[in-house]
């Protein structure tokens, strides 16, 4: 007997579920309800249409309703909105917006893929000014049309997350000046702040203003028709248009009204089969609450990759195949002007709120050998459990290949790998692509050395206390590096002179050693330690110490990624 499956929502998760189910069951009746004008469109490509990188509108729509019907025999109903679900009768009340009529649609199985909607707080004056969000194709056209017709000189983006920063870059590409206003003291809150500083630098170097640690209070118009964005501190930003990018919330109203179990933040709770609290109803995508693969806690990761996997798994189970979704890692990547920002797993901010004992390492390699043209720097941070070495998370920022390194680490995390596994991984090497000592291998070397006790260490955030205590700081960089800045009253001694000047170093004190990136200091530390000195090495070197606390003016000197 054929099944009748209705899917509410036809973008990533919903569209994937529909075509996967058809591949498994040629005889199922599959209906997709989409309240908007488009199905299976490229949400993640929308900022790039605004910026002119994607020039043709039709490229944003991946598959048309006609293709769905002719290739898959799937009934796509655009402008058809699900109004209510009757779980007992297995029926949906649907409003056909084009025909302006309601009808009932029965189902054997239902997949909820409603996605999420942009958060739009009731700021005072928000209805009086030109405020846009970016979630759908019509949103994109509205922004593009406004820019084309009004030729604005300045845009203010509220929120410094993925969409906000992608929009910052693309609006700059359209010739606008841009200010990003962010409530917390950094952009991209999923990064640890010292890593976010590399992003701040890139934004400043591309003439993007940042207002950090200061949220929006209200909007207003001045006498010349300009928009005023007033912040909570009393500052004002004069602008021509506003993009709201402060986050999203799940579209779970239907699920709530029909009595499905929801999480604390309103997301639909599902099991590993993507089944809700009703055996006939599945849910996928941005509206669901799943499991964090590392901690086992509840998690919400509104990304296209997880949504597509979840849609496939829901379809498998409806078709009679037992398939499970093991959880999310939150692997993500974004391009911001000339750098790549990639991350996976837990950040340090989250780890501090757990009972997990962890450590961290930083490295600052180049993405391929220095003798090959166009080398670029990468800033890497790895978090791992102590003493097991189990990898907990990573953040990589910099030039080409940043995402490759995170993809490798993500794979190791998925299989419960450790830093000792990173040491042993066999990574492809050729001068255009990688170093013979691959960056992920080096992360493994440093972290495993730490766990094996091969070197003692200190971190950049301990520097203030060391300076205050007048501890012995030894800067073994060259003099030209030293004069550009050091830590406190550190003694400068070129590492190449260490063997001839070793008697100048006191044996009765703890030596806190550092160089630019950590490697030279490690070599010196191994030398000194074997001669009886008590030496601790600054993990990641001076570059991470400097970046972590650099002001806007200092970042504009291009501390990193020279």
CA–CA dist 115, 284 (Å, integer): 8
Instruction: Say whether the peptide bond before residue 387 is cis (omega within 30 degrees of 0).
Output: yes
φ, ψ of residue 318 in degrees (nearest 5): -65, -35
CA–CA dist 436, 427 (Å, integer): 9
CA–CA dist 208, 91 (Å, integer): 51
CA–CA dist 523, 257 (Å, integer): 64
Give the angle 197-116-136 at the CA atoms, nearest 5°.
Answer: 85
**DSSP assigned state of 490:** P
Tell the residue number behind the tokens 């009886």, with chain if given: 532
CA–CA dist 23, 102 (Å, integer): 31
Asked if 213 and 180 touch (Cβ cutoff 8 Å), the reply is no
CA–CA dist 520, 528 (Å, integer): 12
Pairing state between β 208-212 and 288-291: unpaired
Strand partners, 117: 249
Closest by CA position to 41, among listed 134, 109, 120 = 134
- DSSP characters for 258-314? TT--B-TTSPEE--TTSB-SSTTEEE-GGGEEEEBTTT-SEE----HHHHHHHHHHH
Total residues found in the chain within this entry = 562
Pairing state between β 75-78 and 29-34: parallel
Q: How far is CA 60 from CA 12, 86, 118, 132, 141, in A?
A: 13, 34, 20, 19, 11
Tell the residue number behind the tokens 């069951």, with chain if given: 25
CA–CA dist 318, 93 (Å, integer): 22
Closest by CA position to 304, among listed 46, 63, 48, 12 = 12
Residues with active-site annotation: 44
Closest by CA position to 544, among listed 96, 70, 201, 123 = 201
């Amino acid at each position: 007997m054929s099944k009748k499956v209705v899917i509410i929502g036809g973008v990533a998760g919903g569209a994937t579920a529909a075509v996967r189910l058809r591949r498994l069951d040629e005889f199922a009746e599959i209906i997709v309800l989409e309240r908007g004008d488009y199905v299976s469109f490229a949400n993640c490509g929308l900022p790039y249409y605004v910026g002119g990188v994607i020039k043709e509108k039709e490229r944003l729509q991946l598959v048309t309703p006609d293709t769905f019907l002719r290739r898959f025999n799937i009934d796509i109903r655009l402008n058809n909105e699900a109004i209510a679900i009757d779980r007992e009768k297995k029926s949906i009340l649907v409003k056909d917006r084009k025909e302006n009529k309601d009808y009932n649609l029965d189902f054997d199985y239902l997949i909820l893929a409603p996605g999420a909607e942009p958060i739009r707080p009731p700021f005072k004056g928000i209805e009086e000014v030109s405020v846009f969000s970016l979630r759908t194709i019509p949103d994109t056209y509205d922004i593009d049309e406004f820019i084309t017709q009004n030729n604005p000189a300045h845009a203010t983006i509220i929120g410094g997350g993925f969409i906000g920063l992608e929009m910052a870059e693309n609006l700059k590409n359209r010739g606008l000046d841009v200010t990003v206003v962010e409530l917390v003291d950094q952009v991209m809150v999923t990064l640890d702040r010292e890593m976010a500083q590399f992003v701040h630098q890139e934004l400043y170097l591309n003439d993007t203003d940042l207002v950090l640690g200061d949220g929006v209070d209200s909007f207003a118009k001045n006498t010349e028709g300009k928009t005023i964005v007033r912040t909570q501190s009393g500052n004002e930003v004069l602008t021509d248009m506003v993009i709201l990018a402060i986050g999203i919330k799940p579209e779970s109203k239907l699920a709530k009204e029909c009595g499905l179990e929801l999480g604390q933040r309103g997301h639909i709770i599902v099991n590993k089969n993507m089944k809700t609290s009703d055996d006939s109803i599945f849910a996928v995508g941005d509206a669901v609450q799943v499991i964090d693969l590392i901690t086992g806690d509840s998690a919400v990761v509104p990304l296209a990759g997880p949504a597509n996997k979840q849609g496939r798994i829901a379809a498998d189970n409806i078709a009679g195949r037992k398939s499970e979704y093991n959880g999310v890692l939150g692997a993500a990547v974004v391009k911001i002007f000339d750098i790549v920002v990639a991350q996976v797993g837990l950040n340090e901010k989250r780890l501090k709120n757990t009972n997990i004992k962890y450590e961290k390492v930083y490295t600052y390699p180049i993405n391929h050998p220095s003798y090959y043209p166009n080398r670029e720097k990468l800033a890497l941070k790895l978090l791992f459990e102590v003493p097991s070495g189990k990898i907990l998370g990573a953040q990589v920022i910099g030039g080409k290949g940043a995402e490759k390194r995170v993809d490798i680490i993500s794979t190791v995390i998925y299989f419960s790998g450790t830093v000792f596994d990173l040491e042993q991984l066999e990574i492809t090497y050729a001068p255009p692509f990688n170093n013979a000592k691959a960056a992920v291998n080096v992360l493994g070397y440093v972290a495993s050395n730490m766990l094996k006790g091969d070197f003692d260490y200190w971190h950049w955030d301990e520097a203030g206390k060391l300076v205050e205590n007048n501890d012995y700081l030894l800067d073994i960089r060259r003099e030209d590096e030293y004069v550009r800045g050091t830590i406190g009253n550190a003694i400068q001694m070129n590492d190449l002179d260490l063997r001839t000047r070793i008697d100048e170093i006191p044996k009765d004190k703890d030596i806190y050693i550092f160089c630019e990136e950590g490697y030279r200091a490690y070599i010196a530390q191994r030398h000194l330690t074997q001669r009886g000195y008590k030496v601790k090495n600054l993990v990641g070197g001076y570059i991470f110490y400097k970046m972590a606390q650099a002001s806007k003016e200092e970042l504009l000197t291009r501390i990193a990624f020279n």
